[in-house]
Amino acid sequence: MKITKSYIRKFVFLSSLIGITTSCADFLDESDKSNFTLDNYFTKPEHATSAVNSIYQSLQPIMSSGFGGGPWMMTEFATGLADTELGQAQNSLFIMNLDNTSDNGYGQTYWTSFYLGIANANVAITEIADMTMDETAKNKLLGEARFLRAYYYYNLVRLFGSVPLIVDPIDLSSEDLYPKQADPAAVYDQIVADLQVAEQSGLPWRDVTGRVSLGAVKSLLSSVYLTMAGYPLQKGNEYYALAAAKAKEVIDSKTFTLFPSYYDLHNPSKKNREENIFMTQFVAFTLPSSWQVSIIPYNRGISNYSAETGGIFAQEAFVKSYEAGDKRAAEKEFYYTSYTLRSDRSKTLTLGDYYIFKHFDELAQTSTTSSSMNWPIMRYAEVLLIYAEASNEANGPNSLAYEAVNQVRARAQLAPLQNLSKEMLREAIWREKFFELSYENKTWFDMVRIRKGFNVTTRQFEDYVGHKFVYGPTVTERELLFPIPTGEVRNNPNLIQNPGY
């Protein structure tokens, strides 16, 4: 499809905003500061790089946080396992109380940000393919673009169900200017196709600058196959086997390892390394992460940040549902219940609730108030748990499935699982995922995929529809999806709102 001059100008303008300098995100450096036009854009290798860089930018708005809450909290409050002290964050409260509506700004941020990323990916994939440049570099850039487009669609289809599937650039004359929704199966097929192309694009197994790597591609594909095996597609055993095989490739690469200490999960010097496979990139004082203000208590004076919002913390009952002796539930491992005072660091304040320590930047909180922490999208612990679950589903309990899940348990100082039935091992792995990946935007997706909620009192799984949160509300069928944002339905007559909204 033809790209209009106005579209190119908008695209290049967005791309030019992305240039930042950092040892962890050198790929975001602005490489060409000239005024681009339709006639001279996509004529140099630097233009191809700039185009792909613009696609990464859509990862960051989801993490924006403040006194209005933050879009990343959307799937956390939907689990019933999160709490808040932030009374003015209505978007959080509506979701937490299962009173959500299509006016929720969190959903709009996901939709707008990820479709912008998809639009930039569509332009990059179309234009770079025809450029004259080093073929190795070209293929890597196209692989990155394909991965990012797949990642954005993977989130959109799980959040909103039937969504528009657009893989070509759009101008004002395009048929897809007001696109219809695609069947979720077609969206998943496109996600798989993009990731399979990315697998063959010559990417390195790891990229410590934060760019897409082969490890990220295969890890995401294992997650996609696992989801396709479950709800809503229910492709079953064949796709569990595919998920296990893809996760095994990551494991067998021996590129990634679990951190020896949970502290490394929130150590900025460890981003993009060891356990961290793919992350959203942030840089202190240039493009700092903003969620630090959300994971500290409301105005209790423990942080150097002036905004202490109390935006999100863990439900006490969930933390207490961890197995006895689980190191992850110990003080200042995954959670914290006390901290020193800003006014006197020799004094400690008991906070009364379980705040999230795994995302806590101690240097920023106690000194700089500008965080370089990245947000984890895929880490090796998740790949191990995907392998364990998928292998058990495809083949029943087996030594490699036990080995994978027990690596995660060993770090938590828990006894290894052994001699379990397929059904018992299945639920043990689910619990391990909920405990290990808590508050990383994973748990709600798993609940919907397996159609099970976690009863924090009994430590058992029960049907998701009809599952009662510990603080009262009961999940209904409408909570299997989020509402399509009001503005999107209003502006596109071809969109049909999800049931119940």
**Shared domain check, 296 and 199:** no
Using the structure block, give the residue that is written with the tokens 């940040």.
305
Q: Which residues, 6 or more positions from 432, have their beta carbon under 8 angstroms from its beta carbon?
A: 385, 388, 405, 408, 409
- 499 in a domain, yes or no? no
**Shared domain check, 56 and 189:** yes
β-pairing, 344-356 vs 335-341, is antiparallel
CATH number, domain with residue 192: 1.25.40.390
pLDDT tens digits for range 371-394 = 999 999 999 999 999 999 999 999
C-alpha closest to that of 217 among 241, 183, 249, 240: 249
Res 163 pLDDT > 80: yes
| Boundary of a domain, candidates 353, 373, 393 | 373
The predicted pLDDT at position 369 comes to 98
- 104 in a domain, yes or no? yes
Q: Does residue 129 sit in helix, strand or coil?
A: coil
Number of domains in the chain: 2
**Shared domain check, 184 and 287:** no
**Shared domain check, 195 and 318:** no
Res 7 pLDDT > 50: no
At residue 41 the predicted structure's pLDDT band, cuts being 50, 70 and 90, is: confident
- 437 in a domain, yes or no? no
**Shared domain check, 193 and 44:** yes
**Shared domain check, 319 and 188:** no
**Shared domain check, 288 and 191:** no
- Which structural domain, as residue segments, surrounds residue 34? 5-79+89-203
Res 40 pLDDT > 80: no
- 236 in a domain, yes or no? no
The predicted pLDDT at position 174 comes to 81
Which of 16-30, 129-143, 376-390, 456-470 is the least confident region?
16-30
| Boundary of a domain, candidates 157, 188, 203 | 203
| Boundary of a domain, candidates 326, 351, 373 | 373
C-alpha closest to that of 315 among 100, 88, 469: 469
pLDDT tens digits for range 476-493 = 999 999 999 999 999 999
Percent of the chain clearing pLDDT 90 (strictly above): 90
Secondary structure (DSSP) of 32-64? --S---TTTTTSSHHHHHHHHHHHHGGGSGGG-
**Shared domain check, 289 and 174:** no
**Shared domain check, 60 and 159:** yes
- 420 in a domain, yes or no? no
C-alpha closest to that of 425 among 381, 389, 383: 389
β-pairing, 82-83 vs 452-455, is unpaired
Res 12 pLDDT > 70: no
- 161 in a domain, yes or no? yes
In angstroms, the CA 12 to CA 497 distance is 33
In angstroms, the CA 267 to CA 167 distance is 37
The mean predicted confidence, pLDDT, of the chain is 93
Count of CA atoms in the C-beta half-sphere (13 A) of 428: 22
**Shared domain check, 290 and 161:** no
Percent of the chain clearing pLDDT 70 (strictly above): 92
- 489 in a domain, yes or no? no
**Shared domain check, 130 and 37:** yes
Which of 171-185, 216-230, 237-251 is the least confident region?
171-185
Q: List the structure tokens of 374.
A: 């990245």
**Shared domain check, 199 and 345:** no
- 484 in a domain, yes or no? no
pLDDT tens digits for range 416-449 = 999 999 999 999 999 999 999 999 999 999 999 9
In angstroms, the CA 173 to CA 194 distance is 26
In angstroms, the CA 98 to CA 477 distance is 11
The predicted pLDDT at position 177 comes to 87
At residue 171 the predicted structure's pLDDT band, cuts being 50, 70 and 90, is: confident
